[in-house]
Amino acid sequence: MRQLLRLLKIARVFAKYRLDTFFENLPLRWYVRLALWLMLWRYIIPVGKRSEGERLRLALEELGPIFIKFGQMLSTRRDLLPDNLALELKRLQDQVPPFGGDKARRIIEQALGDNVENLFAEFSAEPMASASVAQVHQALLYSGDEVIVKVVRPGIDKIIRKDVDLLFSLAHLIERLWAEGKRLRLVEVVADYENTIFDELDLRKEAANCSQIRRNFEDSPILYVPEIYWDLTRQNVLVMERIHGIPVADVDQLNAQNTDMKKLAEQGWRSSLPRYSATVSSMRICTRAIFLFPVITRLLRSTLLLILASSAR
């Protein structure tokens, strides 16, 4: 029943943002084109002045965090999307309401096997930030170290599983109904996304990546990577050093303290890492979150092999 309700919501959002226009110029089978023309909302809901990219972005945001993350991943695949769509999808915002601080406390206590009062000298029940997979709380250790505590959202694994299964169904459907669908290998795209999103549920992987990069840049004057507190880190809880600084996207604050933007850009370019957020402190770039090392997925590997084979010819 829940899957049916979810499909009905997808259909409603599809109609609301007139996503049927994306298929008008595609070489679809005749019965698919006929079905599109018979959809009543085409004659009731106007397309409006929004661009295709904006309508797609708004639709994904309304469908929720899992579809938002999928759209964010697609925005990096210029081989699948035209530039105008990819640029619009980069604007997707992965922000959802936080879950209660009491739930966060219970998750931390269950994971670490002790009361929050025994684990931290101070713990803020009010989250600093909240996203689809986890949220972050500030805390203070008895050693005096300021830390942030990242807690995986309860029950998110089941929600992800259901939405990923729907994405697989949609990918299979598109490959069957669209002549070019198999060439785009949409099922493999969803499979890669499935691996990535479920990896994010295990915070030990993020912690391991962060620790590895910290070792690699231990004496770097340009990049600082916060320390991981492994004794307080589990699959669904991560405790790391808190960094104070200015977000690199906050240009007004950077200008207010007379930051050398040219130097910052040069340092940021030389120390750039895939999928990380950062703050700036005394002209030293500090990573706030490092999720996954870049890996060559099956889809990327096969694509590279095709490119190499073509070049060899």
Mean pLDDT of 130-156: 93
Mean pLDDT of 259-274: 58
Residue 228 confidence (pLDDT) = 95
Per-residue pLDDT tens for 103-129?
999 999 999 999 999 999 999 999 998
Mean pLDDT of 146-151: 96
Question: Among 100-109, 240-249, 256-265, 267-276, where is mean pLDDT lowest?
Answer: 267-276
Q: Does the model's pTM come out above 0.85? A: no
Residue 162 confidence (pLDDT) = 85
Per-residue pLDDT tens for 133-142?
899 999 999 9
SS (H, E, C) the chain: CHHHHHHHHHHHHHHHCCHHHHHCCCCECHHHHHHHHCCHHHHCCCCCCCCHHHHHHHHHHHHCHHHHHHHHHHCCCCCCCCHHHHHHHCCCCCCCCCCCHHHHHHHHHHHHCCCHHHHCCEECCCCCEECCCEEEEEEECCCCCEEEEEEECCCHHHHHHHHHHHHHHHHHHHHHHECCHHHHCHHHHHHHHHHHHHHCCCHHHHHHHHHHHHHHCCCCCCEECCCECHHHCCCCEEEEECCCCEECCCHHHHHHCCCCHHHHHHHHHHCCCCCEEEEEECCEEEEEEECCCCCCCHHHHHHHHHHHHHHHC
With b meaning 16 or more CB within 10 Å and e meaning fewer, what string describes 175-185? bebbeebeebb
Residue 303 confidence (pLDDT) = 52
Mean pLDDT of 59-82: 80
Q: Parse the chain into domains and list their residue ranges.
A: 1-94
Residue 65 confidence (pLDDT) = 76
Residue whose entry in the numeric block shows the structure tokens 């986890």: 134
Mean pLDDT of 26-45: 74
- Reply yes or no on whether the pLDDT at 258 is more than 70: yes
Residue 180 confidence (pLDDT) = 66
- Reply yes or no on whether the pLDDT at 253 is more than 50: yes
Binned at pLDDT 50, 70 and 90, residue 220 comes out as: confident
- Reply yes or no on whether the pLDDT at 94 is more than 90: no
Phi, psi of 288 (to 5 degrees): -105, -25
Q: Which residue has the higher pLDDT, 72 or 212?
A: 212
* Percentage of the chain exceeding pLDDT 90: 25
Mean pLDDT of 266-271: 50
Binned at pLDDT 50, 70 and 90, residue 93 comes out as: low
